[in-house]
Amino acid sequence: MKPKGRVLSIFGVLCLLMGLLAACGDSPTATQVPAATTAAVGSATTAAGATTTAAGAATTAAGATSAAASSSGGNSDAILTVGCGQASTWTRNFNPFAAPAAVRFPTLYGVYEPLMIYNSAKGELVPWLADKYTWGTDNKSLTFTLHDGIKWSDGQPFTASDVVYTFNLLKNTAGLSGTAITAMKGTSAYVDSVTAPDAKTVTFSFKQVFSPAIYDLTSQVIVPEHIWKDVSDPVKFTNENPVGTGPFTQIASFQAQTYEIDKNPNYWQAGKPAFKGIRCPAFASNDQANLQLADGVVDWAAGGFPNIESAYVAKDPSTRGYWFATTGGIVSLTVNTTKKPFDDVNVRKAISMGINRDQIVKVAVFGYVKPADVTGLSDGFSQVKVADTAKLGDWTTFNVAKANQMLDAAGLKKGGDGIRVMPDGTKMSFKINVSAGFAVHVSAAQIIVQNLKAIGIDASLQQLDVAGWLDRLQKGNFDMSMALPSGTNFYAAYRTMMSSAASAPVGTDALGGNYGRYVSQKGDQLLNQYASTTDQAQQKQVAAQLQQVFADEAPLIPLYLSPLWYEYNTTRFTGFPTKDNPYVVGSFAQVTGSAEALLVMTSIKPK
């Protein structure tokens, strides 16, 4: 089967979310994929024993007939300039298991590829390294058939042994990052074993039925066993000359201010990529990145851009465009629930009511999105979101008077200087952990600082570089922090917000994404119920109950829907997704787990 046209529709699938921590503005970690369809895999079309195969021969590998298909190809030696992220200088690191902030674009999904790609714009799972999957008769196993003829960039064959090796590496090595971490290790790991019956077949056997497994497993990038088996320390390995199956693998040059990665000479999709390589200039700030975009230097970007119509598009409406979809995740103020007074649900709700989300959206996010509600879910989950979220709670509504009343009732009285004092005499003075490089986050946090003064809380910003911000977040070394809860489906979204499976002791990395360390007993029970069934109706009922639990317990403080920042310039290249041709989400600054950028990279053509 040829890779072109291999598209798998998932009817009723709860959609994925934000992936790669890479770029500017609000997208340091990823994209919550929409619930365009509403059941977990394993239901209707993939029930016990069913085989799901590729379909849609008339479509492209991007899951739709894209604008790229009409391009004649043009200059095959062209270099695509991408706003690959923020850094004063680049560090040469192409380790796909490193923290997303530390790894260079396009390591995830450009150098290394997953078994399949969820196309959130189409509600389709696109076969990639794997052509099809089959659920076992008891839904306790999942078998993948790999695509034939794939080679690593060094010419060695890609086989099932590489897949088995990758997942066992995650299982047996502490400190690695990946979408399959929670599947393979920890007390809540559900994969019992990974085996390769033959060179083209991989079977995952589960300890219990786990319907969202398809997301965790298919989105994990695969590494070559023949290279990685000789790596002494996979955590510290910087992988300066990567060997992958992806479209771009050859490091043509690497300097502190810019690097270029050229196409894979052995790429398995004939004729792709259609251009020579990708260039990544270093931008120390979002403003600098936007200036280069406005000047026409950058072809593809994923950063927050104020006044984009007048400052960018108006310069040449025929070649410049953007699409800020709100089907991603939410931006939150995550509080460390292991610390007082954040362990008190009423305090969390009071702080939330003291925040003016309308002001944040208007000023910090340029009016591009809307405030979050008490479900903590974005527009991407409209199929399962309760009809009237206001009935679940009111603590995301700005109400300074009520916030003060709740804090008074919690025994947190104001001192003579207007700052509240905890029972042990400690003032309520806290720092907000934020990445200095994410201008939108900084602006939002500054507004929060002013808002909290009105309810007797003294807050200040603790601005760090991306790596420092993420390290504090993952280790729980913060009071409050700007964050983006992440996950690859409805289940994973709530897992990152309130599940023990995604948490970790303070001081150790919460690689599962539960940075606030809040664990809900009811939430865990309902998540287990959700994952143990493949019945759509039952899952929707459980989803409604989970939203009520979130509203009752306020694990974190949702602020606003995170826009999927995405800008493009068609002066030199064609085939970008657009508002009018949304064949795939265009943003690449997404949470680990969303490989949609790979569909863009293999669809773009030079003029």
Single-letter amino acid code for the residue at 568: Y
pLDDT value at residue 39? 28
Candidates 218, 235, 222, 207; CA nearest to 501 is 207
Q: Where are the alpha helices (DSSP H) in 509-560?
A: 521-531, 536-553
Which residues, in sequence order, are CB contacts of 132 under 8 Å at separation 6+? 8, 51, 52, 53, 54, 144, 145
The strand pairing partners of 144, in sequence order, are 133, 202
Angstrom distance (rounded) from CA 310 to CA 302: 18
Least confident of 198-207, 473-482, 497-506: 497-506
Angstrom distance (rounded) from CA 396 to CA 402: 12
The answer to whether residue 316 scores a pLDDT higher than 90 is: yes
pLDDT value at residue 488? 57
Mean pLDDT of 312-326: 94
Angstrom distance (rounded) from CA 124 to CA 120: 7
Q: What is the DSSP letter of 55?
A: B
Rounded to the nearest integer, the mean pLDDT of the chain is: 86
Angstrom distance (rounded) from CA 444 to CA 149: 49
Cα-based angle 144, 50, 115 (whole degrees, multiple of 5): 20
Q: Quick one: the chain helix, strand, coil %, rounded to 5? A: 25, 20, 55
φ, ψ of residue 215 in degrees (nearest 5)? -75, -50
pLDDT value at residue 485? 67
Single-letter amino acid code for the residue at 482: M
Candidates 150, 139, 246, 158; CA nearest to 196 is 158
pLDDT value at residue 26? 42
Cα separations in angstroms, 119 against 14, 122, 218, 403, 442: 12, 6, 12, 41, 31
Cα separations in angstroms, 492 against 66, 69, 210, 449, 579: 30, 34, 12, 30, 27
CB 260 within 8 A of CB 253: yes
The strand pairing partners of 480, in sequence order, are 335, 432
- The three-state secondary structure class of 230 is coil
pLDDT value at residue 74? 65
φ, ψ of residue 291 in degrees (nearest 5)? -65, -45
CB 202 within 8 A of CB 144: yes
Residue 99 parent element (H or E)? none
- Two tokens, residue 358: 């309308």
φ, ψ of residue 9 in degrees (nearest 5)? -80, 135
Mean pLDDT of 400-415: 97
The strand pairing partners of 462, in sequence order, are 433
Angstrom distance (rounded) from CA 90 to CA 376: 34
The 3-state secondary structure of 152-189 reads: CCCCCECCHHHHHHHHHHHHHCCCCCCCCHHHHCCCCC
Higher pLDDT, 177 or 157: 157
pLDDT value at residue 358? 98
Q: Where are the alpha helices (DSSP H) in 219-259?
A: 225-228
**Number of H helices and number of E strands within the chain?**
15, 24
Q: Is the dihedral of CA 388, 391, 392, 398 positive or negative?
A: positive
Higher pLDDT, 441 or 59: 441
Each residue's pLDDT tens digit, 262-311:
999 999 999 999 999 999 999 888 788 899 999 999 999 998 888 899 99
Least confident of 124-128, 331-335, 515-519, 530-534: 530-534
Angstrom distance (rounded) from CA 278 to CA 259: 8
* Chain Cα centroid distance, residue 62: 19
Instruction: Give 178's Cβ-side CA count (13 Å radius).
Output: 32
Give me the DSSP letters along 258-310: EEEEEEPTT-SSTT-SSSSEEEEE-BSSHHHHHHHHHTT--SEE----TTHHH
pLDDT value at residue 563? 87
Mean pLDDT of 333-346: 97
Angstrom distance (rounded) from CA 39 to CA 215: 13
Each residue's pLDDT tens digit, 58-69:
233 333 333 333
Q: What is the DSSP letter of 390?
A: G
Candidates 488, 545, 541, 533; CA nearest to 512 is 488
Q: Is the dihedral of CA 537, 541, 547, 553 positive or negative?
A: negative
pLDDT value at residue 392? 96
Task: Say what the pTM is.
Answer: 0.79
Mean pLDDT of 540-561: 96
Residue at token pair 């994952």: 531
Exposed, middle or buried: residue 379 (CB in 10 Å: 0-12, 13-18, 19+)? middle
Least confident of 29-33, 139-143, 347-351, 402-406: 29-33
- Two tokens, residue 385: 């979101």
pLDDT value at residue 593? 56
Domains detected in the chain: 330-561 (3.10.105.10)
Instruction: Tell me whether strands 79-81 and 277-281 are parallel, antiparallel or unpaired.
Output: parallel
The sheet carrying 124-127 orders its strands as: 8-9, 124-127, 116-119
Per-residue pLDDT band at 333 (split at 50, 70, 90): very high
Residue 485 parent element (H or E)? none
pLDDT value at residue 487? 58
Compute, in degrees rounded to 10, the torsion defined by CA atoms 55, 58, 59, 65. Answer: -160
Query: What is the number of residues in the chain?
Result: 607
